[in-house]
Structure 1
Amino acid sequence: MAVLTRLAGRPCRLVSEQPIGHEWAPVSRLVLDRELPGVGSTVVVKTRRVDGEGHGGPAYLRREAAGLCTAEESGVAPRVVHVDDDAGTVIQTDLGAWPSLQDHLLADDPDSAAAGMVALATAVGRLHASTLDRGDDHQRTLDAFAADVDTGLAYSFGGRRWDVVEQACTELDLPPARSARADVLQIIERVNDSAALAALTHMDLNPTNVLVTDSGARLVDFEGCRFGHPGIDAAFLHYPFPHHSKPWGLLPEAVIESADSAYRCALAHSGAEPLLHEYDQLLADGAAITLIGRITRLSMVASPGQSRHDSWRRRGQIVQQIRTYSQLAERSGQGSGFTGWLRKLETAMIDRWPDAADPPPPMFPAFAN
């Protein structure tokens, strides 16, 4: 309140506080008794969170603040009002109380849900186009913290992550992952070497992080963002939502293709044509990185202590995502040892755990009928 009073230029009083996050993700809307110049009479405040797995420490909020600063030109995210790194607080502009994309997917209006997916894709395209080749700007914003900004990043771009997969396959007597290692490392190298095509990537485009407004989709929760390969974000449109699990649902193929088309149109209209020159390759590589992140959970899906529903969902998600990636890899001409190994893994999982494919994945409720 001291900061907001200073920004207002006169005493500022808190009228009400509205929790809009979760117990493990504290976010509040503050309603003030006066307008702040260029901000309005409401702001959103995020504070550090630490759950049982250690998520949400200082690095998360620093990434959020830096990401929002870099994304400001895109117009698809909140603006930063104030950052207090010592206190672990980020004050942002308030986008408003709009329904999330998940609200639309769980409702019974397929047209609104499909429009929400297209709006998400357009927003992601605008984000990538407006930040393309601005890695130095983003890094300077991160460097200003002079502190850890890397802890808890969602995806690892090195061979250590594949070591986990190889060990799990050995322990579970699944097809040896060593046979795919060379191809996996080649994909990782391509992703790491794509600096000329790098943009700010959100990395957590789950439907709860997308607000569907009258002016298009707006993206929130940039705690996992990083400057890197845009194909990772684009892959979220195809899986969809590769690490979203509550609820788990799929989309009709026509909706996915409409979203993909909207993403590419947003890139073209915003001057990001370089991302379209080898788009199928870019998308397949991004999808590979997200899939590798999913299959590192093989040991978890084999755990005997999980509920029947969780075992079905976790195994089913891996099988479904293998099938999706295989289609994207085929479209890009990426027949490789990796795709061959994935087919063997899919067959072995279904043989061992029939619930990995039966019952099949559900559609999101908006498209259930």
Structure 2
Amino acid sequence: MDSILRSAGELLGTELSDPVDLGGSMRSTVLRCRTAGGGTVIVKSFTDGPEGLRGFTSEAAGLSLRLAGPELLGVDTSVPLVVMADLGDAPSLADVLLGDDPEAAAEGLLTWARGLGRLAAGSVPRRADLASLWTRYGGGATSWEDEPWIGQNAARLLASLAGAGLVMPAGLAGELAGIGAVAAEEYPAFTPGDTCPDNNLLTTEGLRLIDFEAACFQSVFLTAAYCRMPFSTCWCVFRLPSGLAEEIERVFRAEVVAAYPALAEDEVWQAGMRRATVVWTVFATVNMLPRTVEDGPIHRTRRPVPTRRQVLRHRWELASTVEEYPAFAETMRLLLREVAGGWDVPPLPGYPAFSGLRAGPAGPAAAAVPTGSQ
């Protein structure tokens, strides 16, 4: 701790004190520190292992684009660490979704979708800038853009099914290969990489994103899927009221059409969203299924949260309707019968903020053609 404070203080040219641990990840430590002038800054220090160094490079490069996060005040590649402006105690999207004010939660979702869409659209010309910044901050590690994670997850799914003695539908491997060949690169745009509700702050100046440890350019559909599923890789997963998922997807789509006019075509949009749904369902399955042997809360400390079995079953229910890929849809139905059929857990509930409203169905949203920004 003392070493982190000393290095960050030297970087800023001021003494730092009174560190408050804000959490972080297995790769990082996040501290709110007081400056000699009485203000506060956020210091994020990373481990020196391969994943820590990759997280640092992503964070430093992503924040340096100055597109959506807090102001970057300094970078020290030797520690490594970054120092950012303190955005204060603004509520996160998770806070309002888990709260008791449905209007605040709905407005938070719309603010999030609109801000994320504008970020994606405005970032399109900056891909070369991010690559340059990655090299500048120590891009010796494989970037997230170059990581073949979609194909790797597909291979893990096939191995898991075979290991469990489940007979895979004919054509599954070919469908997954075809999806992977397209899904990673179609209509690329910037993302911080982890746009989960707790990483989206609803400040008085608008949406601000935090946690750029997986910042990269990826298909805009992989980001848009967070509206439809919702929150494809996150712990804060419940069902939305009927119609709200469609609305936030429409708002996001209306923004990205400015960068990619072809996305106004329903055929293009819906096909991309179906591919993204498959990608994230495979991701959820290979990462969560081994941990459902003994079910438990999806997050170690946050409450309320659903269980892993509830979330995974909900993902399979949604993906089982993607009939464009019949072998994959049948695989999801197989998992629902042979695996989830033995799970004695209630259905995924709605978000607490909307407890008085009817939750929407498990099936995919059918977004309307966008008519422009709100």
Residue by residue, what CA displacement relative to the aligned partner does 1:187-233 show, whole Å, maximum 9, x if unpaired?
A: 10012442xx2111233221111111123221100101221212111
Change (3 A) 1:160 1:106: closer
TM-score, scaled to structure 1 = 0.81
Which whole-Å CA distance do the structure 2 matches of 1:55 and 1:206 have between them?
A: 24
2:84 aligned with 1:82, yes or no? Answer: no
- Distance of aligned partners of 1:360 and 1:175 in 2 relative to their CA distance in 1, 3 Å threshold: farther
2:311 and 2:171 map into 1 onto residues whose CA distance is: 23
Residue 40 of structure 2 is aligned to residue 42 of structure 1: yes
Could you tell which deviates more after superposition, 15-24 or 337-346? Answer: 15-24
Deviation at 1:237, TM superposition (A): 1.7
- Counterpart amino acid of residue 254 in structure 1: G
Q: Deviations over 1:279-333 (max 9, x none)?
A: 2222222222211111113651453xx24566x8223322211222345x46xxx
Which residue of 2 is the match for residue 273 of structure 1?
A: 261
Per-residue CA deviation, residues 143-184 of structure 1 (Å, 9 max, x unaligned), is 223443437899844533222212211222234266311011
Structure 2: unaligned runs, 5 residues or longer: 1-5, 299-305, 357-374
1:168/1:143 CA distance change after superposition, 3 Å: same
Match of 1:137 among 126, 129, 142: 129
2:178 pairs with 182, 186, 190, which one?
186
Contact 1:175 1:341 in 2 (8 A): no
Q: CA deviation at 1:110?
A: 1.0
Are residues 342 and 65 of structure 1, via their aligned partners in 2, closer, same or farther at CA, if it must alter by over 3 Å? same
Distance 1:154 1:174, change over 3 A: farther
Correspondence for 1:148 among 105, 123, 140: 140
Aligned pairs (5 A) from 1:115-264: 115-150=107-142, 156-176=148-168, 179-194=171-186, 197-245=187-235, 248-264=237-253
Show the 5 A alignment for 1:276-355: 276-277=264-265, 278-297=268-287, 299-301=289-291, 303=293, 306-307=294-295, 313-327=307-321, 329=322, 334-351=324-341, 353-355=342-344
State the distance in 1 between where 2:116 and 2:315 align. Answer: 21
Contact 1:60-1:224 at 8 Å conserved across structures: yes
Q: TM-score, normalised by structure 2?
A: 0.80
Letter of the 1:127 counterpart: L
Match of 2:101 among 105, 109, 118: 109
Cα shift readout 1:245-286 (whole Å, capped 9, x = no counterpart): 3x5422223221221122123324x54434444222222222
Bigger Cα displacement from structure 2, 289-298 vs 112-121:
289-298
* Structure 1 residues 185 and 121: CA distance shift in structure 2, 3 A: same
Rounded to whole Å, the distance in 2 between the matches of 1:302 and 1:249 is: 18
Q: Equivalents in 2 of 1:143, 1:324: separation in Å?
A: 39
Distance change (3 Å), C-alpha of 1:163 and 1:265: closer
SS of residue paired to 2:73: strand
Tell whether 2:52 aligns with 1:28. Answer: no
2:60 corresponds to = 65
Report the 3-state secondary structure (helix = DSSP H, G, I; strand = E; otherwise coil) of the residue aligned with 2:23. Answer: coil
Contact preservation (8 Å) 2:225, 2:277: yes
Q: Is 2:352 the partner of 1:365?
A: yes
Q: Distance in 1 between matches of 2:102 and 2:148?
A: 35
| Alpha-carbon distance in structure 2 between the residues aligned to 1:45 and 1:279 | 39
Query: Match of 1:291, as an amino acid?
Result: T
Count of residue pairs the alignment pairs up: 341
Change in Cα spacing, 1:158 to 1:234, as seen in structure 2 (3 Å) is: closer
Equivalent residue runs for 1:88-103 within 5 Å: 88-103=80-95
Q: Which amino acid aligns with 1:108?
A: D
- Structure 1: gaps spanning 5 or more residues: 36-40
Q: Retained in 1: the 8 A contact 2:29–2:44?
A: yes
Report the CA distance shift for 1:177/1:161 in structure 2 as closer, same or farther (over 3 A): farther
Superposed CA RMSD in Å reads: 3.0
